[in-house]
Amino acid sequence: MAPKVLVADKLSRLALDIFARRGIDAQVKTDLSRDELIEIIPDYDGLAVRSATKVTEKVVAAADRLKVIGRAGIGVDNVDLKAATAGGIVVMNTPYGNSITTAEHAIALMLALARQVPLADLTTRAGKWAKSQLIGVEITGKCLGIIGCGNIGAIVADRARGLKMKVVAFDPYLSPERATDLGVEKVELDALLRRADFITLHTPLTDKTRKIINADAIRTMRDGVRIINCARGGLIDEKALFDALQVGKVAGAAIDVYEVEPATDNILFASNNVICTPHLGASTREAQENVAMQIAEQISDFLLDGAITNALNFPSISAEERPKLMPFLKLAEQLGSFAGQTIETGLKSVRIEYAGAVADLNTKALTAAALSGVLTPFLEQANMISAPSLAKERGIMVEEVTRGQEGAYETYIRLRVGTEFDGRSVAGTVFSDGKPRIVQVGNIDMEAELGPHMLYTENADKPGYIGALGTALGAAQVNIATFSLGRSAPGEKAIALLEVDGPIPDGVLDTIKTLPHVTRAHRLCF
């Protein structure tokens, strides 16, 4: 019997042709209510959606046969990823199908902003010949600052260089070699803000990038800067941008994405020097067809051959190797996450060493899991499938090393990250109970199991530090679950890794950073 796929949102006819050609029974039923979807979903092996259909926990619970959910596009906010994963359902998206379209929209907005095209159109239609009031600026020779130089940012850089602009880029994961290949100058954020005539954002929305353009950042910018955002709402503090527009610090802005969408009412709408579009970055015929055809191919590949592409929740692992591999997958991801949450400068390289029995397992999947852990704190689209390509795209050197048993542990994984100014390593193993554990940080031995909420500190090995740390946490009502310590030598460098019962508030972390002898403190989540 042919696999059955429910196409719950409108897809290109070309996508439906792909299903038919591959022998998939694709049935188009759009505009379903939640109850209607719950009623019919048990009959299907696959589900293809865009953004309209909401795949909730109740939908997943009713999906007895469902094996794969394919999202034609990037965002999967409409899919309960946790429920799908728990139900053994692979969730796929198409992260690169609209890259060119989004990049072109950013360039279009930049040009329109430079010459005040929307306002010129509006005033001319109103019978006002406002030629003398609509003086624009050339972009030739101007400096374009790109915040986030991944796939879309790289396309914008290429187009901007063709327009004879000078391009500088800020991206912690952009290597100097990749920057050279793109013909851009890699700079720190402050330098970009000071130098750029135009600033365009192409970075995911994470805790580290939320409101990356705020009042302080705007004060650093040169007077008369122009800002474009086709990436994510929330990257810009909209109130701070509005205030800067009113006083002329920012000459103009072009905004396609908003903190709250649909944006039917927004503070920026009141400013004449803002171009507003309704999240049109991916809205071209070509992009819509690309993502639809890609998801049709991916769903077909999975249902017919078991191949997984652009999955958000599963790596490529065979049924035979899964039981043995799963504990090490968790370990690899935790090691990567530990490193990713504690590095403070741009990432250049990742080296993963597999020693002992783990070296004979599927190290490709393990490396993907480790890279996912490293990149996830900065890149929302990073997962076990996408992480290797994201690293390659940013010029991050990835190296795998396998060897026989060495040292005290029968088998272990060591992850080393190299940054622009330093590096760090962390090693771990899986004990007989099947639980991953950290066994070394740098050259300091330590045995610790990682919990959901952790605190990691580096400090000088001096009397009184443990008491001061415990007092600071106790005063803030932060309960310690486990406390692991290590040191390189008496009186020298020491480390502490604590599991706590809940997230550590910002103020508490700031207090810990000011304790005597502390050189570094990080809040970690696993």
Q: In this predicted model, what pLDDT tens digit does every residue of 422-439 receive, in sequence order?
A: 788 999 999 888 889 999
Contact 95, 74 (CB under 8 A): yes
DSSP assignment of 198-238 equals EEEE-----TTTTTSB-HHHHHHSPTTEEEEE-S-TTSB-H
Provide the pLDDT confidence category of residue 198 given band limits of 50, 70 and 90.
very high
Provide the pLDDT confidence category of residue 523 given band limits of 50, 70 and 90.
very high
Mean pLDDT in residue range 491-519? 92
Alpha carbons 497 and 500: distance in angstroms, whole number? 10
Q: How far is CA 383 from CA 40, 83, 370, 401, in A?
A: 30, 17, 10, 22
Between the CA atoms of 207, 451, 512 and 234, what dihedral angle is there, to the nearest 10 degrees? 10
DSSP assignment of 38-81 equals HHHGGG-SEEEE-SSS-B-HHHHHH-SS--EEEESSS--TTB-H
Predicted pLDDT of residue 318: 55
Which segment of 139-153, 158-172, 264-278, 404-418 scores lowest on mean pLDDT?
Answer: 404-418
Q: How many helices (H) and strands (E) does the chain have?
A: 17, 22
Predicted pLDDT of residue 208: 86
Alpha carbons 511 and 504: distance in angstroms, whole number? 11
Residues 6+ apart with CB under 8 A from 454: 497, 498, 499, 500, 523, 524, 525, 526
Q: In this predicted model, what pLDDT tens digit does every residue of 202-241 receive, in sequence order?
A: 998 888 899 999 999 999 999 999 999 999 999 999 999 9
Q: In this predicted model, what pLDDT tens digit does every residue of 311-345 receive, in sequence order?
A: 888 765 655 666 788 899 999 999 999 999 988 77
Predicted pLDDT of residue 435: 87
| Average pLDDT for the chain | 91
Q: For the packed helices 363-375 and 322-342, what is the interaxial angle rounded to 10 degrees?
A: 30
Which segment of 24-28, 304-308, 471-475, 517-521 scores lowest on mean pLDDT?
Answer: 304-308
Does 385 have pLDDT greater than 70? no
Predicted pLDDT of residue 296: 97
Does 309 have pLDDT greater than 90? no
Report percent pLDDT > 70 for the chain: 97
Predicted pLDDT of residue 316: 59
Residues 6+ apart with CB under 8 A from 522: 341, 342, 455, 456, 457
- How many Cβ atoms are within 10 Å of 507's Cβ, its own excluded? 9
Which segment of 49-53, 191-195, 281-285, 303-307 scores lowest on mean pLDDT?
Answer: 303-307
Alpha carbons 329 and 259: distance in angstroms, whole number? 35
Q: Is the peptide bond before 262 cis (omega within 30 degrees of 0)?
A: yes
Going by C-alpha positions, the residue among 366, 494, 365 that lies closest to residue 428 is 366
Q: Which residues are known catalytic residues?
A: 232, 261, 279
Predicted pLDDT of residue 379: 79
Q: For the packed helices 285-305 and 99-114, what is the interaxial angle rounded to 10 degrees?
A: 160
Alpha carbons 465 and 471: distance in angstroms, whole number? 10
Q: In this predicted model, what pLDDT tens digit does every residue of 118-141 receive, in sequence order?
A: 999 999 999 999 999 999 999 999
Who has greater pLDDT, 156 or 305? Answer: 156
DSSP classification of residue 505: P
Which segment of 8-12, 85-89, 508-512 scores lowest on mean pLDDT?
Answer: 85-89
Does 54 have pLDDT greater than 90? yes
pTM of the model: 0.67
Tokens of 131: 């030629």
Predicted pLDDT of residue 55: 96
N-terminal to C-terminal alpha carbon distance within the chain: 42
Residues 6+ apart with CB under 8 A from 108: none
Predicted pLDDT of residue 320: 61
Does 407 have pLDDT greater than 70? no
* Domains recognised in the chain with CATH numbers: 4-97+286-305 (3.40.50.720), 99-276 (3.40.50.720), 316-442 (3.30.1330.90), 450-526 (3.30.70.260)
